[in-house]
Structure 1
Amino acid sequence: MSLVVGLCAGVVACASRLPIRAHQADFNGAWSAKWCDRNYPEDPCGTFDLHLVQRGERICGQHFAAAPRLSKLEEGEPGSVLGTVVGNAAVLVIDNARTGEKNVAVVTLTPKRLHWRVIGTAARGEWPGDSIIGGKWVLSEDKSEHALSTLHDLQALPCRWPDEIPSDEP
């Protein structure tokens, strides 16, 4: 875990050189991108979804990914995404359910879009397999009933790092 914290601190230091707005960005929301296979346009598209709850500088959330043609799934549990906000960017640690890896990503907000970029693996996985959450994505707000329901459920959960002592905050 100290490797993850150290890596996050380094990324935050780099991100802190970016121009910072007078106010903190608001990452709350459900975000989604389609992932289609151009060779098989009739087949179902995959998706990459993020559900994020922000409390001050802290972000907690959940992720879901499905490869094109639904050939591979990656379903994160609530709390599979943890991070911190730095100006208009956030550094996130994602628990990869397929491999057990801990990936580090940077997300930035633009009007109506969330830009996602995995910058590396903080901890190697316990299981063989390939990750389908890596790379770069441009996600849009997802206002579907399912996305809003998932977001509502996340808002009721505590938002803390694994080594924190529980407090009364939700």
Structure 2
Amino acid sequence: MVTNYKEVKYNVAGKFFQQLIKTIHRLIELMKKYYMNTKKYKDAKEDLVNTLIFFCGGTNMIKRSILLFLVTFLLLTGCNERNQDNISFPVFNWNGHNYIVTNEPIPNDKIEEKVGEIKEQTTDLPTKHEEGYRLNTGTNIYKIRAVEITNDIDSNMAIEIEGEYRVARIIVDIK
């Protein structure tokens, strides 16, 4: 009789964990659905809520603890505001190459000449010549004295922000 009791207990626990695994897979699929197509956010949110309501059924303390963990995890990952390219500094495009604006100041006597200005502002990394991310339209771009504007890692330019000149360094893909 004790053997049967253990088998019944094992089967109940086994079914619980099978359901838990199915629920976790369902949550993962719902998160993929959300991140892949944000237009379907309401549908994904509704599916997620329905799944959580289904999972909450019962009074099992383990079930509720795992649910609390999953909901906390989803809330923490959902509240993380991320830039798609994880760049917080201003960036501009010059002749097909992106330059990141540093906080490094450059003295006025090192500025040679104005070579251009930001003509278009974007919310993503720039892809077109004289397009800027986190830079206002009309921001001036300058050539630094004795530094050639090339496509290699040593290419630097200067940019004027609020009356101060800052160094902008090329972003080079490392392979």
Calculate the TM-score normalised by the size of structure 1: 0.23
Which of the pair is proportionally richer in strand? 1
Q: Between Structure 1 and Structure 2, which shows a larger proportion of helix residues? A: 2
Pick the structure with greater CA Rg: 2
